[in-house]
Structure 1
Amino acid sequence: MKGQEWYQATEVAEEYDEKRFSRGGRLIDRREKQAVLDAIGPVEDKRVLEIACGTGRFTVMLAERGADITGLDISGPMLREGREKARHAGVDDHLEFMRGDAARLPFPDDHFDTVFAMRFFHLADTPAKFLTEMARVSKNQVFFDTFNRFSTRSLYNWLLPMGSRLYGASEVEDLVATAGLELADAEHDFVVPYGFYRKVPDWVAGPFRRADTAIGGSPVGDALASVSYWDARV
């Protein structure tokens, strides 16, 4: 995985949410959470695994909605932040955080109803291996996002501390098929890359997001999108 040492640093975990999801980054946070909720639907009593759960943004959100959820991450400091977030939300006894390797998931086959990963596959050096493991432990659904090769994301990719693996649509479709999955749905969004929204205040981000959404809804929107959300079935 790219940037493991950087990602597991305590100071990175402590500042992670504030740096990415404050200011204009709140728009990203809301959109990503809505994408997860739209994809996996009602979660009450559903057994869910989140891969690379980080600080628990999605893990805690789904626990609050009644999911039986496990969050797995390689970073101890990230998991500490997640546990604290769960405690503040009052759901620390309704979920489980585990430290582990997504390439060797410590669960039996078909153990979860849904397995998902957000902000993960851009770091994956062997994406087919990770997606196959996700498919193995899911009995129904696998959901994940990617950053797209032919998009504005590529313009600043080299500036990022971990870089990004960028994907074309055909590459993702091949990965899905190799993992024994069938693609059920896909959504594409964010012509303007995430990095821009994180750097600007709300009053700047709002108008740009409205324009971004309008372009995204046009005939050229999918081709220009920097982020894609992929919903697959076992």
Structure 2
Amino acid sequence: MKGQEWYQADDVAEEYDDKRFSRGGQLIDHREKRAVLEAIMPVEDRSVLEIACGTGRFTVMLAEQGADVVGLDISAAMLQQGRAKTRGSNLSGTLEFLRGDAGRLPFPDDHFDTVIAMRFFHLADDPEAFLREMRRVSRDQIVFDTFNRFSARSVYNWALPMGSRLYSKSEVTTLLAKTDLTLVDVVDDFLVPYGLYRAIPNALATPIRTLDTAIGGHSIPDHFASVSYWNVSLR
């Protein structure tokens, strides 16, 4: 997986949330969490595996909503940050953090209701193999996101420290067909690239986000959205 060593560095893990989800990045955090919740609802009592859970943004949120969640990541440093977030959290569900490899998930077949993988597919060396492995341990649903080939992200993609794979809609649709998964819904968002939001204060980012959302509500700009949120079923 791309960026594996980079994500395991202590300083990267410690600064990860502040660099990406403070300032205007708060809008990204809110949108991603809403995408996950809307795909999984109702959350309560649902068993969920999050692959590449990182600092636990989604795992903690889902456990607070009443899900029984396992967060898996290759990076011990990221998991340490995730465990720190549980201190003082009011969890109505359960939460466990495990270190492990997304390519060889340490769970039996059909073990979870839902498997999610946010901020993951752009790093996957073999997306079909990873999708098959997620399908193996899920009995109902898989939720993931992809960064899009024809978006503004392609302009600065080369500068990212771990590289990044961009997808067209047709590529993902082909992956779903190969792994015998059924598309339930796909939502496109963020015409303005993430990097701009992170670079500016929230007060400035908010009106840009309002304009972005208004323009993105039309069908043609969807093809140029930076990210797509995919909700797929095993049925």
| TM-score, scaled to structure 2 | 0.97
The corresponding residue for 1:108 is: 108
Structure 1 counterpart of 2:226, one-letter code: S
Runs of 4+ more than 4 Å apart: none
1:93 Cα offset (Å): 8.5
Q: 1:36 maps to which residue?
A: 36
Q: CA deviation at 1:92?
A: 10
2-side partners of 1:112 and 1:90: how far apart? 23
What is the aligned partner in structure 2 of residue 59 from structure 1?
59
Partner of 2:172: 172
- Residue 163 of structure 1 deviates from its aligned partner by 1.7
Distance 1:174 1:91 in 2: 38
Aligned to 2:192: 192
Deviations 1:11-43 (A, max 9, x none): 000000000000000000000000000000011
Contact 1:83–1:92 under 8 Å retained in 2 = no
- Any conservation in 1 of the 2:66–2:92 contact (CA below 8 Å)? no
Residues 187-223 of structure 1 show CA distances to partners (whole Å, capped at 9, x for unaligned) of 0000001111000001210111011001100231211
- Are the counterparts in 1 of residues 111 and 139 from structure 2 also a CA contact under 8 Å? yes
Query: What's the CA shift for 1:55?
Result: 0.2
What SS does structure 2 have at the residue aligned with 1:139? strand
Correspondence 1:137-176 to 2 at 5 A: 137-176=137-176
Summarize deviations over 1:78-106 as a string: whole Å, max 9, x none: 00000010123144982100000011111
The residue type equivalent to 2:180 in the other structure is: G
With over 3 angstroms needed to count, the CA separation of the structure-2 counterparts of 1:44 and 1:82, relative to structure 1, is same
Identical positions, percent: 68
Number of residue equivalences: 234
CA contact (8 A) 1:132 1:179 kept: yes
| SS of match in other structure, 1:98 | strand
Distance 1:69 1:202 in 2: 31
CA distance in 1, matches of 2:197, 2:165: 20
- State how far apart, in whole Å, the 1-side matches of 2:93 and 2:115 are: 20
Aligned partner letter, 1:76? A
**Alignment-derived partner of residue 72 in structure 1:** 72
Aligned to 1:223: 223
Alpha-carbon shift at residue 161 of structure 1 (Å): 0.8
Unaligned runs of at least 5 residues, structure 1: none
Q: Please say which of residues 24-33 and 154-163 is displaced more in the overlay.
A: 154-163
Equivalents in 1 of 2:187, 2:26: separation in Å? 20
